[in-house]
Structure 1
Amino acid sequence: MSDSGSEASDTMIVTLERTTVAVRRETVEMAKIRDYFDSVYQIVAAVIGQQDAGFAGPAIALYRGMPSETVDVAAGFPTLRPVESSNGVAAQQLPTGLAARHIHRGPYDGLADAYGTLLAWMERHDHTPGELYWEVYVTEPTPDARPEDMVTEIVWPIAPRE
């Protein structure tokens, strides 16, 4: 991803480059999303390791549609090479082109407000959000991590104009 905006802003336009990810996609109840993440990253990491696909970045979560009581989510990692489908894990290419990116600093419970900020920014700049969007967990959540130190990138590709 390359920046085409000011680093002083938490929201900017970026150019998405070709990225291959290994993810496991499920429809998950929002009340159980933490349990899903706790298990799925271990499963995906094991498949990447078994296939020697190589890690190419921090953990991500891809979303389709707006969450309600459930969410369509695919979680995993960028990889150096595509994985062969195994144990519910599959390779996927992320979209290329322009996207709006918002950097959220702080606990995950602040992500809903961060999405509101990003969507309002996109509307003000006359950008239509695409169908797929994702979070990049720049800082790895660990039992010792302080929630206020978490950094999450929200990336939302811009739909092409018709």
Structure 2
Amino acid sequence: MTPEPELVEVEPTPTAVIRGSVPVTEITSFYDRSFTEVAAVLGRQGVSPRGTFGRYLAPPADVIELEVGFVVDRAVEADGDVVASTLPGGRVARLIFHGAYDGLGEAWDGLMTWVGDQGLAPAGPVWEVYVTEPTPQTDPSTLRTDLFCPVA
């Protein structure tokens, strides 16, 4: 069962990402390529990864504007498609989702409904932190993804 959303304060966090405008049908391959390329850059620069995420820079459409990468211990130097970025600090609505990735759309709908029910409004790009790293042996029902929506 997915816990109820909550309001929390988060600190700005440095990230290393690849940005893209990606057709929905290519999103999985973009994630895979991005994680591989960013991890290689982190290794070359001696930067420690602290988790993976995807940040959606515009409302969902047939083409998704996003950045995908790792939370890191310090800023990276640009290298190829990999650039430094930041997850913003401030007040966010957070939902901890347990389950397969194909349930994320419904989880996001629930979080956005909850935000409105609280008399709040989204205040910037949203992001997902992939707490559980999937493997071919992973039971999808055991995956944990934390959803974040800045609010005003």
**CA 1:109 to 1:9, structure 2 compared with 1: closer, same or farther past 3 Å?**
closer
**2:27 aligned residue:** 33
| Distance (Å, rounded) in 2 between the aligned partners of 1:38 and 1:142 | 12
Runs of at least 5 residues in structure 1 that lack an aligned partner in the other structure: 1-7
Q: SS at 1:99's partner residue?
A: strand
| Distance (Å, rounded) in 2 between the aligned partners of 1:10 and 1:124 | 13
Q: SS at 1:120's partner residue?
A: helix
* 1:6-21 aligned within 5 A: 9-21=3-15
Tell whether the 8 Å contact from 2:15 to 2:84 is kept in structure 1 after alignment: yes
**2:107 aligned residue:** 114
Would you say how many aligned residue pairs link Structure 1 and Structure 2? 151
Q: For the aligned residues, what is the CA RMSD?
A: 1.2
Detail structure 1 runs of 4+ shifted over 2 Å in the superposition. none
* Alignment TM-score, normalising by the size of structure 1: 0.89
**1:149 aligned residue:** 142
Runs of at least 5 residues in structure 2 that lack an aligned partner in the other structure: none
- One of 100, 121, 127 as aligned partner of 1:134: 127
The AA in structure 1 aligned to 2:37 is: I
Q: SS at 2:91's partner residue?
A: strand
Tell whether the 8 Å contact from 1:30 to 1:71 is kept in structure 2 after alignment: yes
Q: Which structure is higher in RCO with an 8 Å CA cutoff and minimum separation 6?
A: 2
Tell whether the 8 Å contact from 1:10 to 1:104 is kept in structure 2 after alignment: no
- One of 58, 81, 96 as aligned partner of 1:65: 58
* 1:34-113 aligned within 5 A: 34-55=28-49, 57-113=50-106
| Distance (Å, rounded) in 1 between the aligned partners of 2:119 and 2:82 | 36
| Distance (Å, rounded) in 2 between the aligned partners of 1:18 and 1:65 | 20
